[in-house]
Amino acid sequence: MELLLLGAALAAIYVAAVKMVQANRAYGRSNEELRVLAARPVELARAKQRLEGQIKDTADQIGRVGIRIEHQKAEKAALDEELQRLRERAKDRIYVMERVMQPGQTLWELVVSNDTQFRDVGDEEYRLSWARGRRYVVSAATERDVRRRAELKFLGSQGFRVLQVERSARF
C-alpha cells in the first residue's frame, strides 16, 4: 500500500510538474503578448507625431503655395494690362520703297525723315511720322546700294534725311 501511495504521489507530482511547465509556457506567451501590446501605444504615439509633423509641413507648404498663387495672379493681371496696352498702341508702319524686289537680295530697313517739307500739313500724326522718321523696306545687295537708291528717291534738297540703314531682322 505504501507503494501504491508512493506511486499515486509520484503521479500527482508528475501531473503537477506537467501543468507547471504548461503554465510557465502560457505565462511566457502572455508576457510576450503584453510586451507587444505595451509597445503598440509607443509606436502609435510616434506615428501620430510623424503625421502631425507632416500635417504641419503640408499646411506650411499650402500657405507658401497660396502666397505664390496670389503673386502670380498679381503678375498675370499686370501682364494682362501690359498686353492690352501693347495691343492698343499704334503699330509700327513699314513702307515698301519699291514694288519690285530682286530674289536672293538682302532686305534692309531704311529710316527716312523730313521735318521741313511736311511742317504745314494739318494732320498731326502724318507730320510727326515724317519728323520721327518713316521706316522703308528695301531689297538691295549692300548698304551702299540702299543709301544710293534712297538718295535718288528722297532728295536732300527737299528736306529728306536718311537716319538709319540696317539689315532687316523682321523678314
pLDDT value at position 62? Answer: 94
The pLDDT assigned to 99 comes to 79
Q: Is the pLDDT of residue 90 over 70?
A: no
Answer whether 108's CB lies under 8 Å from 168's CB. yes
Cβ of 23: how many Cβ atoms within 10 Å? Answer: 10
Q: Determine contact, residues 150/138, Cβ cutoff 8 Å.
A: yes
- 8 Å CB contact between 134 and 113: yes
Single-letter amino acid, residue 112: V
Q: What are the distances in angstroms from CA 33 to CA 5, 20, 25, 166?
A: 41, 20, 12, 90
22: cell is 504548461
Does residue 95 or residue 15 have the better pLDDT?
A: 15
Return the bridge partners of 165, or none: 110
Please give the radius of gyration of the chain, using alpha carbons only, rounded to the nearest integer: 49
Residue 145 is predicted with a pLDDT of: 92
Summarize pLDDT for 120-155 with one digit per residue, the tens: 888 888 888 888 899 999 999 899 999 999 999 999
pLDDT value at position 55? 93
- Bridge partners (DSSP) listed for residue 166: 109
Looking at residue 4, its pLDDT comes to 85
